[in-house]
Structure 1
Amino acid sequence: MPVPLRAITVFHAVARSGSITRAAEELGVTPSAVSQQIQTLEVGLGTALIGKAGRNVVLTEAGERYFEMIGGEIDRIMEATERIQGFRSVTTLTVRATPSLSTKWLLPRLARFLDAHPDLELRLDGTNEPTAFQKESVDIEIRHGTGGWPGLYAEGLVEECFRPVCAPALAAPGSLAPGELHRHRLIHSVKSQMQWAHWFKLAGTAPAARWRRLLFDRTHMAIDAAAGGLGIALESDLMLWDDLRSGRLACPVRDPPRTALVTQWVTCPPDHLRLRKVQAFLDWIRRERDEWARARAATL
């Protein structure tokens, strides 16, 4: 029996969102209507495509293979339809980055990219979840991690230097030795690659037996907490740049050890590098990175 195209597009929405409810909201129909379309498709194909996992759905092995085969084609059909309808007059570039990098480093610079590329419409997807490029319509991701993801192009954005920072009213710049930090509450970014225990080791001192701690799972929250006088944070100068330049934050430690890491990586499937919009973004972010590095060398 022929399979209705509507059922195929409904399956695509469910597979992409991982939820019948979210797919129904996206399509403007009821969840029961979505379920009926999925059943129609499964009968037409003669195999089960999805199963339940709590409130979400999971794809069967057949569902995974089917989604991989149709995903790109459905995305292109949807994009062509939107263009004809007039919803999309320019090419859309979708960039994924963590909320902290998006807020602290990308957003202050995006105007220059938009001014240089008026033909591009930018969608900035701020999330910590790594992109499943074969399933999601993401062109390029700036991923937090250590690099080396199989099958992906990965270019380190820049070497970051980590330093303790706090509001100057809490502790004056250069007023503390590393061993004196325990007098203050220490703010922890729990997902950071540079943790306080390692920093104390590099500084040649042992941390106190008992710490007063404040923990966050988002860097921008830890930075704002430090600026609010809640304690001393250990963060990257890439994220701290505007706050350090404005004087909102300062390093209270005399002669802190140099702690340099690459934690942000520009990633995408190798075939995305052929897209003009991706190359435009790569050229732009490399220029911004180089300009920032020069400013850092002259200032800090």
Structure 2
Amino acid sequence: MMKALILTDGKPGHFNQSVAFCKNTGIDYELVDVNYRSKTAKALSYLLDRMGLYTKKLFQVSGLESQTSGFDLIISTGSTSFYPNKVLSKELALPNIAILNPQGYRPDFNAILCPAYDHPPKRNNVIELPLNLCAADQTFFEEKAEEFEQKHPAKGPAAGFIIGGPNAVSEINAAELKEQLEKAFELTIGCERWVTTSRRTPKEIEALIESLPFDYTLINSRDSYNPVPAFIQLCDHLFVTSDSASMVSEAASFGSARVEILMNRQLKTPNKFQELFQGLEKRDAVHIFDGTLGRADQKVDLTPQLQLALKRVS
């Protein structure tokens, strides 16, 4: 079995994508932490990369000293890890993979996996993805569904609602969301309605959620349990607010639900979230909710893209 050295900046949204690559390709892996010694050191890394100069003096690596052999490749996600990836790739003589667009650095990794909405450079080593990599497999969702059913035994078909909050390009408006939810209720008569909020959900949105007759309600600020994997596995319809690319990517990758995107109020347009949804809509993987229910239940399989990346490093 191949084994990967995953460099992580400690951000779950980043290292989970590196882990996802390994899980989806059957590669063993170990994680080590990397961080720059200062903000100046990170800024300098861009310049040194442009000059073709690579030094470990700019960053720290935790836990690698005793395990510098036995790896077949290096994988990393996110800007903090890209320069260390190159340095260690050269030091250990290992091929490397970057996940997400290494903007500002030379795109000379052996393979780069990047969502199309990030507009990566057009190069032979760049493999565009229609959505984000998700660090899970079907067994994980089945186990989480069983766990959820111990808490809330389903009495029939279900419609799940995953409610987020504002992000850099949009805001979530209580009045507009209320109108969307009421219409969704009309369209899902005969289904149980389950809802969960996120850590970014504002108080006024939480109050709105609690005022509506959901059959199951999880308010994230008061309960850390995560029912999202169970929703993805069990629901016939899944409504997801438009603020999380990772959440939409999970819904479009797993389960069998028809996925509806509840659009937040856009503050900047066009933006990468809109590009993601439009691309997935063309694949029948999501439907942008317009007061009607779509039939978007086609799940995206990234196996061909991930296998192509592996060929680049073999």
TM-score by length of 1: 0.32
Rg larger in structure: 1
- More contact order relative to length (CA 8 Å, sep ≥ 6): 1
